[in-house]
C-alpha cells in the first residue's frame, strides 16, 4: 500500500515537472524568438538605410556584433522585390508562436512573414 502512495506521489510530481518544463520552454522560445526576429529586422532595416536597398542575403549585412549571429541563424530571410520576407525558425530550442499588432509592421520593408499579424505574402504574377 505504501508503494502505491509513493508511486502516485512520484507520478504527480513528474506530471507537474513536465507541465512546468513545457511552459518554460514555450515562454523561452517566445522570448528568444522575439529578440531574434526584432534584431534581424533592425539589422536589415539599418542596411537599407545605409545602402539604399535591402540585402540579397543576411550574409551581406555589415557591422554586425558577435551575438547577432545567433539571431541571424534563427530566421529565414528572402529578398522580395523592394522588400523582404522574414520568418522565425527558432526561439530558444523550438519554433515560437509570435504575434505583433498592426502598428509594429508600419514603415518596414517586410512584406511577408510566418509571424502573426504580418502582411500577407505577395501574390505571384501581380
pLDDT one-digit tens code per residue, 99-115 = 999 999 999 999 999 99
Strand partners, 80: 83
Q: What is the pTM of this model?
A: 0.78
Would you say the C-alpha torsion 15, 20, 23, 26 has a positive or negative sign?
Answer: negative
pLDDT at residue 15 greater than cutoff 70: no
**pLDDT tens digits, 23-64:** 778 898 899 999 999 999 999 999 999 999 999 999 999 999
Q: How far is CA 38 from CA 31, 84, 110, in A?
A: 11, 14, 12
Residue 112's H or E segment, with its range, is: strand 110-112
Residue where the block lists cell 554586425:
64
Residue where the block lists cell 508503494:
3
Beta strands 83-88; 75-80: pairing state: antiparallel
Name which of 27, 116, 46, 40 is nearest 78 in CA terms.
Answer: 40
Amino acid at each position: 500500500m505504501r508503494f502505491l502512495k509513493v508511486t502516485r506521489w512520484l507520478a504527480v510530481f513528474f506530471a507537474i515537472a513536465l507541465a512546468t518544463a513545457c511552459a518554460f520552454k514555450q515562454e523561452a522560445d517566445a522570448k528568444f524568438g522575439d529578440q531574434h526576429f526584432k534584431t534581424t529586422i533592425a539589422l536589415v532595416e539599418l542596411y537599407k538605410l545605409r545602402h539604399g536597398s535591402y540585402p540579397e542575403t543576411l550574409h551581406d549585412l555589415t557591422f554586425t556584433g558577435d551575438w547577432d549571429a545567433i539571431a541571424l541563424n534563427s530566421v529565414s530571410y528572402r529578398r522580395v522585390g523592394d522588400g523582404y520576407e522574414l520568418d522565425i525558425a527558432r526561439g530558444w530550442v523550438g519554433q515560437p508562436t509570435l504575434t505583433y499588432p498592426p502598428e509594429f509592421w508600419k514603415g518596414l520593408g517586410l512584406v511577408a512573414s510566418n509571424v502573426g499579424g504580418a502582411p500577407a505574402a505577395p501574390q505571384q504574377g501581380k
